[in-house]
Amino acid sequence: MPAGPAQRIVVYGVTGSGKSTAASRISEATGLPWHSVDDLTWEPGWVEVPATEQRDKIQAICTQQEWILDSAYGKWLDIPFARADLIVALDYPRWLSLSRLLRRSIARVITKTTVCNGNRETIRTLLAHDSILRWHFRSFHTKRARIRQWATNPHGPTVYRFRRPKDLTTWINTLHH
């Protein structure tokens, strides 16, 4: 970990790895404010916030002294990466992240749970061309390669790469505010 406790954290991982849950737990353990990227990037009706507006929102957060982001989109990845003290990388195998994603998405469809800004997953959204399930397959290798690249970059933020949820939980249990 950087000198002193991290104050600016990006939780990053493949789709379905549990980034939001991890960010929430880290926030609870440290007292750092957590910002849900889905809430910042999706309007009601699953309308994507324009990229320039996303960048502005993320820039406003990242200029603060303390924050946790539960993801980082390629459109604005440079902003938090330039300011982060720590990247918590959830580098789980596909079978784990995909099974979590399927379980979560099916449960949300059945219970009609709100995801962000009033949006809900439906059978239609799960089968759509741009669905979260398809996104998992399209982005899996890129995200894992990015994690490995960051972990070997001596000039970037510290990277804690977790290969198992148990190891993440053990680490979170060491945090306190």
pLDDT single digits (tens) 77-91: 999 999 999 999 999
Find the radius of gyration of the CA atoms of the chain: 16
pLDDT of residue 3: 43
Q: For residue 177, what pLDDT is reported?
A: 64
- Per-state percent for the chain, helix, strand, coil, to nearest 5: 50, 15, 35
Residue 177 forms part of a structural domain = no
In a 3-state reduction of DSSP, which class is residue 2?
Answer: coil
In a domain, 82, yes or no: yes
Q: What is the pTM of this model?
A: 0.93
Whether 2 is in a domain gets the answer: no
Domain presence at residue 43 = yes
CATH at residue 117? 3.40.50.300
Domain extent at residue 158: 8-172
Q: What is the pLDDT of residues 90-148, one digit of tens each?
A: 999 999 999 999 999 999 999 999 999 999 999 999 989 989 999 999 999 999 999 99
Half-sphere exposure of 131 (CA within 13 A, CB side): 16
Residue 1 belongs to a domain: no
Distance in angstroms (rounded) separating the CA atoms of residues 23 and 9: 9
In a domain, 23, yes or no: yes
Query: Any long-range contacts for 50-59 (C-beta under 8 Å, 24+ apart)?
Result: 51/75, 51/76, 55/79
Number of domains in the chain: 1
Tokens in use for 88? 């918590």
